[in-house]
């Protein structure tokens, strides 16, 4: 089954200007579609007319860019931005350095678990020793 394809009929109709610009051609197609359906509701016509924003669809916008100075500032801004990957931030503080050493990336290990177990044992032993000494202060064995 062959589907009909659209073709440029500007050469067939002398009233239509040349459709060299895609913005101009789409604007003209929308205008022709709107004029062919006068009984269309206002909401539907408004929806079709706003497919292309008016500033872009205007004939003045098709020529030279009027906001070239603003575009030049944007281009200069992006040209001055640094390229490549951001430099790696060095960790600061005791916890940050500990995390970078044992938790991050290829350095990840189970050492923090061993450190936690050792810390609990040391704190527990010191508490037991202290409270046992308090007991012996007034009660000798």
pLDDT in tens, 33-57: 656 555 666 666 666 666 655 555 4
pLDDT at 116: 96
- What is the Cα 140 distance to its own chain's centre? 73
Domain residue ranges in the chain: 12-64, 109-141
Is the predicted pLDDT of residue 30 greater than 50, yes or no? yes
Q: Which value, in Å, is the radius of gyration of the alpha carbons in the chain?
A: 38
The helix/strand/coil state of 55 is helix
CA 11/CA 9 separation, integer angstroms? 5
Give CA–CA dist 60/65, Å, rounded.
9
| pTM for this prediction | 0.37
Structure tokens at 21: 């610009």
């Amino acid at each position: 089954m062959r589907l009909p394809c659209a073709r440029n009929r500007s050469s067939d109709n002398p009233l239509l200007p040349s459709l060299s610009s895609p913005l101009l051609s789409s604007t003209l197609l929308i205008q022709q579609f709107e004029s062919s359906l006068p009984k269309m509701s206002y909401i539907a016509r408004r929806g079709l007319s706003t497919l292309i924003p008016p500033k872009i669809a205007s004939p003045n916008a098709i020529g030279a860019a009027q906001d070239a100075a603003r575009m030049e500032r944007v281009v200069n801004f992006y040209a001055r931005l640094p390229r490549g990957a951001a430099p790696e931030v060095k960790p600061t503080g005791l916890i940050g350095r500990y995390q970078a050493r044992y938790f991050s990336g290829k350095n990840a290990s189970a050492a923090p678990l061993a450190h936690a177990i050792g810390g609990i044992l040391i704190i527990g032993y010191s508490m037991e020793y202290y409270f046992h000494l308090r007991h012996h202060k007034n009660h000798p064995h």
